C-alpha cells in the first residue's frame, strides 16, 4: 500500500509547492515563516488526502488568519520550502491576478517597498534598453557665454540623460506589461517584438495597408494595442502612448531614418 502510493508523492510535492506560492502571495512571507514547524508528515498520509483538505494537527496555532483559511493553506504547510520566498516583504495582491498583471502588481508593491531604489536602473537591467546619447563633449573645448551650450554644466548633462532614460524606462515597463496595456488576453508587445524588434519606427510616416492611409508610428502602435494585444485604443497624446513611442524610438538608436520604407 505504502509502495503503491509512492508515485503520487511527487505530484503532491508539486501541488504543495504551487499552493505554497499562492499562500506566500496571499499572506506575506513573514507570517508563513513563523508557521512552519509542523512539517514532517507521514508521506503515506499525504497521499491519501486531497491536498485541499486541512487537518487540525498540521495547522499552526499561532495565527488566527491562517486558521480561518485552513482549507486553502493546509497542504502547503506540509512543505518547508519557504526559502523560495525571500522573506523580505509582505506582498498582498488580489488572488485573481495571474501572469503579467500579477507581475505588475508585484513590481508596484516592490516600488512602494523600496522608494529609495532606482527602478529605472532595475528596468534597464531587466530589459536592457539602449542608453541615450552621451553629451559630455559639449562641455569640452572653448564654450564661452556666447556659445549655444555655454551656460550648461555637468549637472545639466546628467539631468538630461537621467530624465531621458526615465522616460524610456517607463515606455519599456508598459511595453512589457499586458496589464498596463490593458490587454484582455494577457499579451504584451515584447511577446512579438522582443526588444522592440520589427517595429521600424524609422520608416514612418508610411502607407500602411491595414489602415489604408499614411500613418505615424503611434498609429501602428495603436493598431497593435487594439488587434493582437486586444486592448483599448490609446489616447495618441496620453502618457502611455508617449512612453511607448519613446521606448521604441530609443531601441532603434543608430538606425538611419528612412520614411516610407516597406
Residue of minimal CB distance from ligand HEC?
Answer: 189
Taking the C-alpha atoms of residue 54 and residue 12, their distance in angstroms, rounded to an integer, is: 14
Taking CB under 6 A as the binding criterion, the range among 17-25, 61-69, 131-139, 191-199 that sits at the site for ligand HEC is 191-199
How many angstroms from the chain centroid is the CA of residue 247? 16
List the one residue from 66, 177, 199, 251 that touches ligand HEC (CB under 6 A). 199
Taking CB under 6 A as the binding criterion, the range among 63-71, 139-147, 164-172, 187-195 that sits at the site for ligand HEC is 187-195
Taking the C-alpha atoms of residue 16 and residue 82, their distance in angstroms, rounded to an integer, is: 11
Q: Number of residues in contact with ligand HEC, rule: CB under 6 A?
A: 19
List the one residue from 49, 124, 200, 242 that touches ligand HEC (CB under 6 A). 200
Complex with ligand HEC: residue 105 or 224, whichever CB lies closer: 224
User: CB neighbours (10 Å) of residue 170?
Assistant: 21
Q: Which three cell numbers stand for residue 64?
A: 488566527
Complex with ligand HEC: residue 14 or 197, whichever CB lies closer: 197
Taking the C-alpha atoms of residue 172 and residue 177, their distance in angstroms, rounded to an integer, is: 9
Residues 208-237: b if buried by 16+ CB within 10 A, e if exposed:
beeeeeebebbebbbbbbeeebebeebeee
List the one residue from 24, 85, 225, 250 that touches ligand HEC (CB under 6 A). 225
**What pairs with residue 213 in β-bridges?**
208
Taking the C-alpha atoms of residue 139 and residue 75, their distance in angstroms, rounded to an integer, is: 64
Complex with ligand HEC: residue 107 or 241, whichever CB lies closer: 241
Site for ligand HEC, residues 85 to 144, rule: CB under 6 A? none
List the one residue from 203, 243, 246, 249 that touches ligand HEC (CB under 6 A). 203
For helices 154-175 and 239-251, what crossing angle results, to 10°?
100
CA-only gyration radius of the chain, Å? 26
Site for ligand HEC, residues 144 to 183, rule: CB under 6 A? 181
Under the binding rule (CB under 6 A), the answer on residue 230 touching ligand HEC is no
CB of 124 to ligand HEC, least distance (A): 19
Render 48-115 in DSSP notation, one character per residue. HS-TT---GGGS-SS-HHHHHTHHHHHHHHT---GGGS-SS------TT--HHHHHHHHHHHHHHH-T
List the one residue from 19, 24, 169, 229 that touches ligand HEC (CB under 6 A). 229
Under the binding rule (CB under 6 A), the answer on residue 224 touching ligand HEC is yes
Write the DSSP symbol of residue 91.
Answer: -
Taking CB under 6 A as the binding criterion, the range among 57-65, 115-123, 128-136, 215-223 that sits at the site for ligand HEC is 215-223
Q: Which stretches of the chain bind ligand HEC, using CB under 6 A?
A: 181, 187, 189, 191-193, 198-200, 203, 210, 217, 220-221, 224-225, 228-229, 244
Amino acid at each position: 500500500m505504502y509502495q503503491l502510493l509512492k508515485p503520487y508523492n511527487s505530484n503532491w510535492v508539486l501541488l504543495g509547492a504551487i499552493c505554497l506560492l499562492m499562500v506566500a502571495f496571499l499572506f506575506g512571507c513573514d507570517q508563513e515563516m513563523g508557521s512552519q514547524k509542523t512539517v514532517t508528515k507521514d508521506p503515506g498520509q499525504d497521499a491519501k488526502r486531497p491536498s485541499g483538505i486541512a487537518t487540525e494537527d498540521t495547522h499552526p496555532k499561532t495565527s488566527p488568519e491562517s486558521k480561518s483559511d485552513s482549507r486553502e493553506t493546509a497542504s502547503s504547510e506540509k512543505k518547508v520550502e519557504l526559502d523560495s520566498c525571500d522573506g523580505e516583504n509582505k506582498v498582498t495582491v488580489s488572488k485573481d491576478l495571474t501572469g503579467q498583471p500579477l507581475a505588475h502588481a508585484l513590481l508596484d508593491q516592490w516600488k512602494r517597498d523600496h522608494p529609495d531604489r532606482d527602478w529605472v536602473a532595475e528596468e534597464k537591467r531587466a530589459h536592457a534598453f539602449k542608453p541615450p546619447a552621451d553629451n559630455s563633449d559639449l562641455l569640452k573645448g572653448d564654450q564661452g557665454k556666447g556659445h549655444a551650450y555655454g551656460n550648461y554644466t555637468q549637472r545639466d548633462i546628467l539631468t538630461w540623460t537621467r530624465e531621458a532614460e526615465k522616460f524610456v524606462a517607463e515606455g519599456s515597463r508598459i511595453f512589457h506589461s499586458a496589464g498596463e496595456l490593458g490587454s484582455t488576453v494577457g499579451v504584451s508587445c515584447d511577446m512579438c517584438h522582443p526588444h522592440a524588434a520589427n517595429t521600424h519606427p524609422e520608416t514612418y510616416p508610411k502607407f500602411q495597408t491595414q489602415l489604408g492611409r499614411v500613418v505615424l508610428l503611434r498609429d501602428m502602435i495603436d493598431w497593435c494595442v487594439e488587434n493582437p494585444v486586444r486592448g483599448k485604443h490609446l489616447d495618441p497624446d496620453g502618457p502611455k502612448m508617449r512612453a511607448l513611442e519613446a521606448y521604441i524610438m530609443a531601441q532603434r538608436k543608430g538606425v538611419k531614418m528612412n520614411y516610407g520604407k516597406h
